[in-house]
Amino acid sequence: MYNFNKVYLITSFDDRDNPERLGLCKTGQETIARFLICEHMRVTSLDEWDKVWMVIKDDCAKGFIPLIHLAMHGNIEGVHIQGIDELYAWPDLMDCLEEVNNSCNHQLVVFMQVCHGAHCLANLKQREYPPFYIMIASVDKIDIGNTFSNLKYFYEKVANDTLGEAILTYVEKIKLSESFYSSIKHHWCLFKKNDSLPNKLFTCKITPDINEREL
């Protein structure tokens, strides 16, 4: 079961690219903080990126169970981190998440506010250990302003209802915001402990059909 008690909003947008995005990130942090403990971690270099994961793992040792919310540019190959010329590939990000997931006893929830974020799920079943417990991500391009403006519906449901209901509500709000986004496919991925197969610790389910009963 998911049991997170702190949200880590990790952002990495170049203010020269679009200063408005920095304001959206601040608003997003304020929105989340209305419902849950939230720490905004803005990344502007590879050193800061590495530090983020160390901080989260240290917090796990103190009893925090994270929901990691990533908000940055991405494509089918990986994410763009400010201050890094090369793309940060999806498998490398999965390595970071796996370390955190191990640190919090396989309870990590990941929210990908990243274009094409669901492409990180490629070849996921080949990993020996899962990089998270549950992830919600879009296989398509997203509009950062549209998604930030609808965060309140997601986190209000997370705080007062269930994660499954929060995901369903958020995706529906995104679809209603603009007709163009009605075609966006949000995927969720769920890892469950597998007691029946001794050689496989976890089973993985990836589907575009978000079903609250599975969560």
Residue 115 located in a structural domain: yes
Note whether 2 and 132 are within 8 A (CB). no
| Domain-embedded: residue 44 | yes
* 33 assigned to some structural domain: yes
Give the C-alpha separation, 129 to 201, whole Å.
8
Provide the domain limits for residue 52: 6-214
> Tell me: the pLDDT tens digits for 50-82?
999 999 999 999 999 999 999 988 999 999 988
What is the count of structural domains for the chain? Answer: 1
| Nearest Cα to Cα of residue 15 among 85, 83, 114, 75 | 83
pTM of the model: 0.82
CATH of the domain at 154: 3.40.50.1460
Lowest-confidence segment of 79-93, 100-114, 141-155 by average pLDDT: 141-155
What percentage of the chain carries pLDDT values higher than 90?
25
Does any domain span residue 62?
A: yes
pLDDT at 150 over 50: yes
CB of 2 closer than 8 Å to CB of 134: yes
Domain assignment present for residue 177? The answer is yes
| Measured distance CA(136)–CA(186) in Å, rounded | 7
Of 15-29, 60-74, 80-94, the least confident: 15-29
Whether residue 1 is contained in a domain is answered as no
Residue 168 has pLDDT above 80, yes or no: no
